[in-house]
Amino acid sequence: MSRTLVLNARQLVTLAGPNRGRMGPEMADVGVREGWAMLLDGDRIAVVGPESHLLAEAGDSEIVDAEGGVVTPGFVDAHTHLVFAGNRANEFEMRCAGRSYQEIAAAGGGIMATVRATRTASDAELLEAGARHADQMLRCGTTTIEAKSGYGLTVEHELRLLRTARDLGESGPWRVVGTCLGAHAVPPEFEGDRAGYVTMVTDELLPLAAPLCRYVDVFVEDRYFSHDDARRIAARAKALGLGVRLHADQLTYNGGAGLAAEIGAVTADHLEQTDEAGIAALLAGGVIPVLLPGSVFGLGLSRYPPARAMIEAGLPVVLATDFNPGSSPTPSLPMVMSLACLQMRMTPAEALTACTINAAHSLGLADEIGSLEPGKRAGFVVHDIGDWREIPYWFGANTVRTVWVGGRPA
């Protein structure tokens, strides 16, 4: 295998530590090392240590000069709606004029607007759109992407979205983890028959989707899916060997965090409305909170998830973009980090932990990615800055100079 020595980094931010979610004070330790280098062996990290030591054993390794920049692990985006057709810029304009997300959805917009555009797009058009979205994320430093379906809402079209996500993961430099979100909304074909649609998801969609995804998700919210719907879908998903994630307590408080704990969900996502009882339930149930401040910002709302209380309670908080065409059309985890710091009282260290090792843990990949340690996959980002805290400091900017995936520049 070829060996590569990454040197001359002003700071190497390793996130070194246990291959699990970091909790409480652990989230503040990002493992900043000055004067350190990294030796790669093929697509794996071989050694991380003082540059003077690694130079002595580098031999004829290829040299990569970080040119005084900051090196971090590749970001892990643990909640995205990667594949869809079209956009909803018209709805953005409507929200700017004072219409709420719920009002727009009730008038035929929202999720169903993207469902209509996605159903009419060809396979090639969906693949092209997904690749464009993934490339935007990559250029912002994201190397692993969780990708939900949810804009097809028929067996045929949901499987098409999951196959597209799989194909993107096989053909691009990024890793893609599939999630079946057939329970995103009730389509017009089942209007007035939500129970019938849930039966279609459990009995028809999930058995066919299982080979294409790792997780199943449910949007638990008023006018979408109930607790009982989520229980049915989660039971079927687990029987098929799939993990469960939930959209919970986003627009209204309905006990979604407690439900996630009850059904043994891996994550509960959003949680803007969650209270102390919900936080306690997440902790007791071992549920990982995935927080999405981009969707709060994108909807022009002011109630952000209670990240500070979650961290102080000892939960391994994760940040993700919620990349989607309606509420959070941002591919940038650094921008999400900025929002978390400015609006949710997270420190820069906690925000970086939440976008790397904790996000990897939420996808069951902490033994492979999320930190710069020997044995892990060689995915990292070289930032054109002198201090790692500048990543969230320069909000809206892109500090990324180069991205490496699998020991190669992407």
pLDDT tens digit string along 55-84?
Answer: 887 788 899 999 999 999 999 999 999 999
Percentage of residues in the chain having pLDDT higher than 90: 91
Q: What is the domain count for the chain? A: 2
- In this prediction, residue 1 has a pLDDT band, given cuts at 50, 70 and 90, of low
Mean pLDDT calculated for residue range 375-392: 98
Same structural domain for residues 35 and 181?
no
Read off the tokens for 143: 């190397």
In which domain, by residue range, is 261 found? 76-362
Is the same domain home to 157 and 215?
A: yes
Q: Give the pLDDT of residue 351.
A: 98
pLDDT band at 190 (very low <50, low <70, confident <90, very high): very high
**Residues 252 and 323 both lie in one domain:** yes
Mean pLDDT of the 329-337 span: 98
Three-state secondary structure call for residue 65: strand
Considering the domain architecture, whether residues 343 and 224 belong to the same structural domain is answered as yes
| One domain, residues 24 and 164 | no
Claim to verify: residue 301 and residue 256 sit in the same structural domain: yes
- The closest of 395, 308, 391 to 345, measured between CA atoms, is 308
Quote the pLDDT of residue 100: 82
- Shared domain for 197 and 282, answered yes or no, is yes
Q: Give the domain-ending residue among 326, 341, 362.
A: 362
What does the pLDDT look like over 222-273, one tens digit per residue?
889 999 999 999 999 999 999 999 999 999 999 999 999 999 999 999 999 9
- CA 313 to mean position of chain CA atoms: 22
Residue 384 belongs to domain with CATH number = 2.30.40.10
Are 280 and 247 found together in one domain? yes
The CA–CA distances, whole Å, from 284 to 155, 314, 340 equal 35, 11, 24
One domain, residues 264 and 147? yes
Instruction: Tell me what pLDDT residue 168 has.
Output: 98
- Asked whether residue 106 carries a pLDDT value surpassing 80, the answer given is no
Q: What distance in Å separates the CA atoms of residue 215 and residue 53, rounded to the nearest whole number?
A: 43
Token pair, residue 220, equals 């638990």
The conformational region for residue 286 under phi > 0 = left, psi -120 to 50 = alpha, else beta, is: left
Which of 340, 362, 384 lies at the terminal end of a domain, its last residue? 362
Q: Tally the residues of the chain.
A: 410
